[in-house]
A and B are shown apart, each in its own frame.
Chain A
Amino acid sequence: MRFAFDEDQRLFADALRKMLAEQCTASQVRAVWDDGVGHDPALWARLAEMGVIGMLLPETDGGLGGSMVDAVLLFRELGRAIVPGPVIESMAIAGPVLAGSKWAAGIASGELVATAELDGTGHVPHASVAHVVLTPEGLLDLAGAEIDDAGGIDGGRRLGIVRGGGLVDHDGRSTADAVDLDAARDRAAVATAAYLIGASEAMIDMAGEYARQRHQFGKPIGSFQAVKHLLADALLKVEFAKAPTYRAAWSVATGAADVARDVSMAKALANEAAHATSRAAMQVHGAIGYTWEADLQLWMKKVWALERAYGTTSWHRRRVSSAVLSS
């Protein structure tokens, strides 16, 4: 029994955090929003070079051959910096499904960008920046497809409506039958939970910083108990979503019997923590929090997009419920 990450896992996450602090700043994220594409190819190349994109791909595909336990802290760091583009879709969904196929090496090297659409919405996140889309029907090659921009509340996750494109073979597994969609959805949910936790930690930091600087009634607003308690309650939810998320990563990595229950518990708790944190952080910012100018909006909108992707809170709660209440 040892509920801790090993030194390599922690050092890799630290290195990623440091890189992102320099190369994925709020103004860079804002620039990605403003260019209307929702993707930063230079940053993507850097992530691939570090091995982040290929963490869950086998070494024979140019990946690092890691498990979800190796990857979960990376997702948290990607979320802290709200890295734009299909990191969750490439790393956690399409990548492992395409392992061993002719597409895998390109995904690991960053030259081929894969996304995924598993929620049956009719729009594809990150469609305009991706080469292939994993769908429940199979793998869709976007070469020659027409993509209409459907916007998206999060400018780092633009949605596209795809017309055309063709289902293609990925080494004899071209049909939906060959893909374990439940496992792919579980990986997506854990990755998203960790990403939401990282984004929440960043919002608490931003709100704390604002509360130290902003003065009213002659005092920093962070000295008022009403403000302190808002942020303490947000932190409480975030801190108690972490261990369940790490446990879910372990259950995915080891194929534990309770994996569905554990994954859903993580996503439900991370959703709630991230949503509550977005509300608290905005309230602490006051009117500034309601502006386009404040960076907080970039993080809040990321949360509002991802808390409903790969299973809403109530969907996941029902899945936990059927696991724990059935005798």
Chain B
Amino acid sequence: MDLTATPEQETFRAEARNWLEANVPAEPLPSFDTAEGFALHRDWERRLSDGRWSAVSWPEEYGGRGADYLSWLIFEEEYFRAGAPGRVNQNGIFLLGPTIMEVGTAEQKARFLPTMASSEIVWAQAWSEPDAGSDMASIRSTATRDGDHWVLDGQKIWASRAVWADWCFGIFRSDPDSERHRGLTFILCPLDAPGVTVRPIRQLDGDTGFAEIFFDGVRVPVENTLGDEGRGWYVAMATAGFERGVSLRSPARFTEAAARLIELWRTHADPADLALADAVTDVWMQAEGYRLHTYQTVTAMLDGTPIGSESSLNKIFWSEMDVRLHELALDILGPEAERMHGPHERWVDGFLFSLSGPIYAGTNEVQRNIIADRVLALPKGV
């Protein structure tokens, strides 16, 4: 065990810090769930990519730096420290990208990864359907083979970034006689293809961060199949593993937010209110604990231990911590927290955003079932 950084890691950190200090926009960008904000975030991604900082853990041939996961964590610490913009192509770079690297063909890697790293193509995810939420295996959207094309029909919902994104990825039932996890195929589809209709859904925060996607006889070449036909569930699970594992919410996001919360406490709270001081301390410990836990997990991954169902523990932990952290910020602000547009807008927005955490990427109740079944080996329930 050695919890100090190596000279190489310190050099990497300094390089990232210098680049970010010179390049991060001075003013925060508008939300990427608005037309203007989306375009500005795509520009930012292009600048990141030009500096080869958009996908640091990817191999160099696809626009990355071939950095190991520990270096990725260091980059994330610097990224959040610098207050850099949110990642508009997160669905691509952190979810689909690693999946393509794992199961994609050489042709698919060359075709999709460089444009993903540069955000020339921004990706939306299309998992859920009106009747397939927590019960994702109930998917009914279909992919019907017609020569060398798939014909897609059906409806997806809660598709993040779909309003302004270029392409989407999702799973479709390709075997009409199949049930549940079998007979599903993972397909990549441009959102401007004939027959695709995107209907924005206004979120709790007022922005249109997700959408419904209707597929009506959409023709997609079979080259857009990721992984084997009929094996889409397992390809998607690999993606979901990454999503709930370490890549979706790096610890730096929370240690940085906890540091801002402490600053808010110092400037706005009554230090004699020990209950509030204790609550802030608790959430700081959670953020710090998540950071330490992630460093331990990542060291194990570098030693060759794959991340498994324990990633469900991470997802519950960070999502509940994030809600608590923002609730506390609003408590410190008191009646000021009612004001949507003011000096504390970021905390109010952050509170609304945090509430999605316990729901998306598999509700925390589903995660608890996964932990009980696969980690604690309890008998299967309903």
Contact = CB atoms under 8 A, between A and B. Distances in A.
A and B from one complex? yes
A265 interface: yes
Nearest to A237: B317
B61 interface: no
Interface in A1-41: 1-6
B281 A317 contact: yes
Contacts of B70: 1
A222 B365 contact: no
B300 A232 contact: no
Contacts of A3: 1, 3, 292, 295-296, 298-299
A190 interface: no
A242 B292 CA distance: 9
A228 interface: yes
B39 interface: no
B316 A1 contact: no
Nearest to A240: B289
Given A232-B372, A236-B317, A327-B266, A220 B379 contact: yes
A2 B372 contact: no
Nearest to B281: A321
A57 B362 CA distance: 49
B29 interface: no
Given A222-B379, A265-B285, A325-B265, A4 B299 contact: yes
A279 interface: no
A202 to B, nearest CB: 14
Interface SS of A by simple majority: helix
Given A208-B376, A232-B376, A239-B310, A5 B369 contact: no
Contacts of A224: 381
Contacts of A269: 285, 289
Interface in B4-31: 4-6, 9
B2 interface: yes
B380 interface: yes
A268 B285 contact: yes
Nearest to A209: B377
A325 B372 contact: no
Interface string A271-308: 00000000000000000000000000000000000000
Given A225-B365, A321-B277, A235 B296 contact: no
Interface string B262-294: 100110000000000110111011101110110
Contact of A325 (B266, B313, B367, B371): B266
B292 A1 contact: no
Contacts of B110: none
Contacts of B365: 225, 229
Contacts of A5: 1
Interface in A234-282: 235-236, 239-244, 246-247, 250, 265, 268-269
A222 B1 contact: no
Contacts of A241: 289
A129 B310 CA distance: 42
B303 interface: yes
Nearest to B368: A232
Interface SS of B by simple majority: helix
B303 A4 contact: yes
Interface string A29-70: 000000000000000000000000000000000000000010
Contacts of B280: 321, 325
Nearest to B372: A228
A235 B1 contact: no
Contact of A227 (B1, B377, B378): B378
B237 interface: no
B375 interface: yes
Contacts of B317: 236, 240
A1 B3 CA distance: 5
Most chain B C-beta atoms within 10 Å of own C-beta, residue among A204, A225, A250: A225
Given A239-B310, A246-B1, A233 B368 contact: yes
Nearest to B280: A325
A1 B1 CA distance: 8
A212 B1 contact: no
Nearest to A318: B278
B293 A243 contact: yes
9 contacts: A1-B70, A1-B299, A3-B299, A222-B379, A240-B293, A243-B289, A243-B296, A246-B1, A269-B285
Given A232-B372, A239-B310, 20 more contacts: A1-B299, A4-B1, A5-B1, A208-B377, A212-B377, A220-B379, A222-B379, A225-B369, A229-B369, A232-B371, A232-B376, A236-B313, A236-B316, A240-B313, A241-B289, A243-B289, A243-B296, A320-B281, A321-B281, A325-B265
Q: Which 6 A-B pairs have the closest CB atoms?
A: A228-B372, A243-B292, A222-B378, A232-B368, A321-B281, A232-B371
